[in-house]
Amino acid sequence: MTVFKVGKATITRIEETYLAIYPPADLFPDWSDAHLKAHGHWLVPHHYDPDTRKLKLSVQSWLIQLDGRKILVDACCGNQKSRPTRPWWNMLDTPWLDRLAAAGARPDEIDMVMCTHLHHDHLGWNTRLKDGRWEPTFANARYVFSKPDFDYFQKLDLDPATAPAEFGTFRDCVLPVVEAGRADLVSGPHRLNEFIEILPAPGHSPGHFVFKLEIGGSRAMMTGDVFHHLLQVYYPDWNFPKNSNADDARTSRRRVLDDCAASGALVFPGHVGAPFAGFIEKNGPSFVPQF
C-alpha cells in the first residue's frame, strides 16, 4: 500500500488498475525514439513497459484521512460498468472496495467524495449496483461535483445526437447521486473547508478542478488529469488526446505546474505510475518531476 503524510493527514493510494495501454505516439504525436533514449532511465519500468513498448497509466483514487474525517478524491471506473468502447475498463470486477477497507475506510465511513472532473474513470465507484439499480456507494457522503462539468455533460446527455454522455457515465455514476440528494454542485474557485480549496483548471474537461490542500503548513495538490503522464511535466505543451479545449488544457497545465513548483506542494496526480506522488521543480520554461 502506498501511503503519504501531508501534515497530520494520511493520504493513501487506492489502486484500481495499473496497465501498459498506449503506444506513446498514440497519446503524444511528438514522441520519438530520441525521447525514449533521453528519458528511458526513469520511464522504465514504472511509466513505460519496454516489452510491449507502451506507456503505463494507473487508475487510482486518493483517500485523505484527517482528524477522523475520510475524504475520497476521484472514484476510478467502478465494477460492472458497461464501457464497450473502453475495453481496458469495461465491466471490471476488481477488489477496489477491499483495498479501500485495507486503507482504513468502509464505504459508509466516507464523509466526502470529491471528483476532479466528470469523466468515466473518475466517477465509477460513486455508485454500485443494488437490486438492479445504481445507488450511491458512499451512503453517508456528500459528493462534490464540478457544476461547469455537470452542465456540459447534462447538455450532451439530453441531446439525442450525443447521448448517452461519456459512454453512459453521466447516467450511471452522476445522476443517481444527484437524485439521492447527495451531490453538491460547485463552481470554482471555492474554499471547501479550513484545509481544502477548489481551483478551476479547465481544458481536459470544461469544469476540471484541482484540489489544493494546506494542513499545518504542509501543502499538497490533487491534480486529476491536468497531466496524465510525467512526460507532460517535461513537455507541458504535450496534450492528452481527449480535451474539451486543447489550448485551455495547456494553459491550465502550465499554471498548475507553476503553482506546484512555487508552493512546494506534494502532487497527487490521477494516473501517474509509481511512486505515484511527488514534487515539481521549475526548469527554465519547463519543469522536472521529483517523483
Q: Which residues bind Zn ion (CB under 5 A)?
A: 121, 225, 270
CA angle 238, 239, 243 (to 5 degrees): 170
CB-wise, 157 or 225, nearer to Zn ion? 225
CB-wise, 9 or 202, nearer to Zn ion? 202
Smallest gap from residue 223 Cβ to Zn ion (A): 11
State the amino acid at position 231 in one-letter form: L
Smallest gap from residue 130 Cβ to Zn ion (A): 26
* Gap between the Cα atoms of 269 and 273, Å rounded: 9
* Gap between the Cα atoms of 277 and 267, Å rounded: 5
Smallest gap from residue 120 Cβ to Zn ion (A): 8
CB-wise, 195 or 227, nearer to Zn ion? 227
Smallest gap from residue 4 Cβ to Zn ion (A): 20
Q: How far, in Å, are 23, 24, 67, 116, 183 from residue 50 at the CA level?
A: 11, 11, 43, 31, 43
Give DSSP secondary structure letters for 140-151.
T-EEEEEHHHHH
Smallest gap from residue 273 Cβ to Zn ion (A): 14
CB-wise, 9 or 114, nearer to Zn ion? 114
CB-wise, 9 or 204, nearer to Zn ion? 204
Catalogue the long-range contacts made by 277-286 (C-beta closer than 8 Å, 24 or more residues apart): 277/2, 277/4, 277/11, 277/13, 280/233, 282/258, 286/233, 286/234, 286/235, 286/236
